Chain A
Amino acid sequence: MSVVEATPVTVAAPEPGRGVRLVRRLLHNPLAMTSLVVLLVAVVVAVASPWLAPYSPEQTDFSHTFSPPGTPGHLLGTDDLGRDVLSRLMLGARASLEVALLAMATAMVVAVPLGLAAGYFRRWDAVISRFTDLLLAFPFLILAVGLAAIRGASLGNAAIAIGIAQVPSVIRVVRSDTLHLKSLDFVAASIADGAGDLWVLGRHVLPNATSVILVQATVALPAAILGEAVLSFLGLGIQPPSPSLGTMLATAQQFAARAPWAAVLPGVVIMVLALAFNVFGDALRDALDPRGSRR
């Protein structure tokens, strides 16, 4: 064999230190840091809530119903059954984050491979695009309604419905990023070098699509938190007496004039969680934007 071995073409795709630059940019953004701190506190409280909560969230106390916030022993008051609002908020936030993570994971696991395939393999594009259109035709709540009718209402089914509803937009974004990456020199070089499709996808396309996928995941989380709240509020998600921010609002609605705190506080927690994810997502997108401008 006297043939000169072709040296593998390695065109440097990711510039070194990209991650470091990203972290540095985020560290210099006060809004990003504030939202990150809020999220970290929320996650810690959510994880530790079974030990942190002053009461069991389902423990009723009929001699102390509708205690206003500030009542000794009940910092944020009690609800119609004398349950401690603070404890229920903590465990409700935990359930919200669980559903949000589960929904986001569902969306990513389904959508990322489909998006990559649609962008990379021309033959699959039309099929996957029709699939995307089909999913889009079933709005999230209608999907959840159908799923609840078929499989019953539960935390898991709510997460699946929310996740599936997020699949189309993630497919579209990953697809267009893959199309773009496929047209770049280093991918073309790798293909010309005889690399297999799966190798090119796994080695070159996916790592470079990470930032886009990351942004999509951050966008999916606040939407999932709002989605869980809506479903539980309507009775299609987490079932009472399990605490959920949505079910808390649904019951509080019935006595809102008498105990407004029970109707206001869960909404505030939902909003703070969603806002923190949205602000952090915006900051992440800005930091990843090669133009570096705030858009």
Chain B
Amino acid sequence: MARYLITRAGQSLLTLVLATVVVFLGMRALPGDPALALAGEDRSPAGLAAVRHEYGLDQSLPAQFLHFVTHALHGDLGTSVRTGLPVSSMLGAALPVTVELSVLAIVLATLVGVGAGVLAAVRRGRPAEWFANGLALVGLSVPHFWLGLLAILYLSVATGLFPASGFVSLFDDPLGNLHHIILPAVILGTGLAAVIMRQTRSSMLDSLSADYVRTAKAKGLRPGAVIGRHALRNSLIVVVTIVGLQLGGLISGAVVTEQIFGLPGFGKMTIDAVFQRDYPVIQAVVLITATAYIVINFLVDLLYSVIDPRIRVAGEA
């Protein structure tokens, strides 16, 4: 176990370092002088010199990289050229919104996806399975931002059941917060629910035809117990992996969903930054996303190996 842990941690760390290099070089690949991009409006020679010094652009490339990394490690991700605020404090305000949205979407998608997947596997060849399969295919094929648009048009504007945009903090007004975020979370969760459903169904079908399930049935266990305690438990491993793998898609989806519902999260900040050519913010956003992805997938792997000992053994081999 320890060896597997160390190998995985080493791999993750290496990926993280490489990702940092990519982000750093990406900034240098910008057309023109990066100082011009970083300086924003202030393009006086003195202003540019100050920016060059602040970002270490007057130093050699390796020194610049070291400068970038040490500052990032100290939580200093630069200053937004548009708002003049430290990027870290902008992130501090935006990230909780996105995390809340994503967690809620994952929870909803898992509940619906696992439920529908089990139903489809147990009711194989019956209308319930066709219905669940069809729904999953549509869920995979529908553009979520369009679904969001329709939801705003027909649920928010027409009936007034949900607010069309805006956000209140979870800590100021929990109920109002839920009211604002539930519709975006449902929309964001649709695709994930479809993927989870298909995987759950497929691995449940495998489990249901496995010997240990036949044994469980043969010794007279109730069908509910066979499905819940034996078949489903093994299928859940797949769900954990899927959520990890789909994280990138979820982050992309969150960006779009926030844009449509006007949620002041990470995604909206990203898109605004691109159109305002706010390079320090873009750089931070890319770096934070890559880091989050790597760290969360490392944790998913750990969780995975805790649930299924076979993985650890294979990893050590």
Q: Report the Cα distance A139→B294, complex, angstroms.
A: 11
Partner among A150, A230, A274 whose Cβ is within 8 Å of the Cβ of B141: A274
**A66 at the binding interface (Cβ < 8 Å):** no
Q: Which of A181-212 contact B (CB under 8 A)?
A: none
Q: Report the Cα distance A4→B259, complex, angstroms.
A: 74
For A137, the closest partner residue in chain B by CB is: B290
Q: Report the Cα distance A282→B251, complex, angstroms.
A: 26
Q: Which chain B residues border A249 with CB–CB below 8 Å?
A: 143, 145-146, 149
B290 in contact with A150 (CB, 8 Å):
no
Q: B90 to chain A: closest CB distance in Å?
A: 16
Interface core residue of A138, A222, A260 (most chain B CB under 10 Å): A138
**B157 at the binding interface (Cβ < 8 Å):** yes
B141 in contact with A222 (CB, 8 Å):
yes
Partner among B141, B247, B252, B256 whose Cβ is within 8 Å of the Cβ of A271: B141
Given contacts A148-B274, A236-B274, A256-B153, contact A138 B256 (CB under 8 A): no
Q: A24 to chain B: closest CB distance in Å?
A: 23
Q: Which chain A residues border B149 with CB–CB below 8 Å?
A: 249, 252-253, 256, 263, 267
B11 in contact with A142 (CB, 8 Å):
no
Given contacts A229-B143, A236-B274, A274-B141, contact A146 B282 (CB under 8 A): yes
Given contacts A142-B252, A230-B252, A235-B275, contact A134 B145 (CB under 8 A): no
- Size band of the interface chain B makes with A: 35 or more
A149 in contact with B289 (CB, 8 Å):
no
Q: Which chain A residues border B127 with CB–CB below 8 Å?
A: none
Q: Which chain B residues border A234 with CB–CB below 8 Å?
A: 255-256, 259, 271
Q: Which of A267-284 contact B (CB under 8 A)?
A: 267, 270-271, 274-275, 277-279, 282
Q: Mark B238-265, 1 if CB is under 8 A from A, else 0.
A: 0000000001110110011001100000
B252 in contact with A140 (CB, 8 Å):
yes
**B72 at the binding interface (Cβ < 8 Å):** no
**A179 at the binding interface (Cβ < 8 Å):** no
For B19, the closest partner residue in chain A by CB is: A137
Q: Report the Cα distance A126→B126, complex, angstroms.
A: 45
Q: Mark B270-281, 1 if CB is under 8 A from A, else 0.
A: 110011010100
For A140, the closest partner residue in chain B by CB is: B252
**A61 at the binding interface (Cβ < 8 Å):** no
Partner among B146, B202, B252 whose Cβ is within 8 Å of the Cβ of A139: B252
A139 in contact with B249 (CB, 8 Å):
yes
The stretch of B22-30, B49-57, B304-312 in contact with A is B22-30
For A219, the closest partner residue in chain B by CB is: B140
Q: Which chain B residues border A233 with CB–CB below 8 Å?
A: 145, 256
B279 in contact with A149 (CB, 8 Å):
yes
**B205 at the binding interface (Cβ < 8 Å):** yes
For B206, the closest partner residue in chain A by CB is: A295
Q: Report the Cα distance A134→B274, complex, angstroms.
A: 22
A274 in contact with B145 (CB, 8 Å):
no
**A130 at the binding interface (Cβ < 8 Å):** yes
Q: Which chain A residues border B31 with CB–CB below 8 Å?
A: 150
Partner among B15, B138, B147 whose Cβ is within 8 Å of the Cβ of A275: B138
For A234, the closest partner residue in chain B by CB is: B271
Given contacts A134-B19, A263-B153, A267-B149, contact A142 B285 (CB under 8 A): yes
Q: B23 to chain A: closest CB distance in Å?
A: 8
Q: Which chain A residues border B275 with CB–CB below 8 Å?
A: 235
Given contacts A139-B249, A263-B149, A271-B143, 18 further A-B contacts (CB under 8 A): A130-B18, A136-B248, A136-B297, A139-B252, A139-B289, A142-B252, A145-B271, A149-B274, A222-B141, A229-B143, A230-B252, A234-B271, A256-B153, A263-B146, A266-B146, A274-B140, A278-B140, A295-B202
3 smallest beta-carbon distances between A and B, as pairs = A267-B146, A139-B248, A141-B252
List chain B positions with a Cβ less than 8 A from chain A: 11, 14-16, 18-19, 22, 26, 29-31, 137-138, 140-143, 145-147, 149-150, 152-153, 157, 202, 205, 247-249, 251-252, 255-256, 259-260, 270-271, 274-275, 277, 279, 282, 285-286, 289-290, 293-294, 297
A–B complex contacts, Cβ < 8 Å, 8 sampled: A134-B19, A146-B26, A146-B282, A149-B30, A229-B146, A253-B149, A267-B142, A271-B138
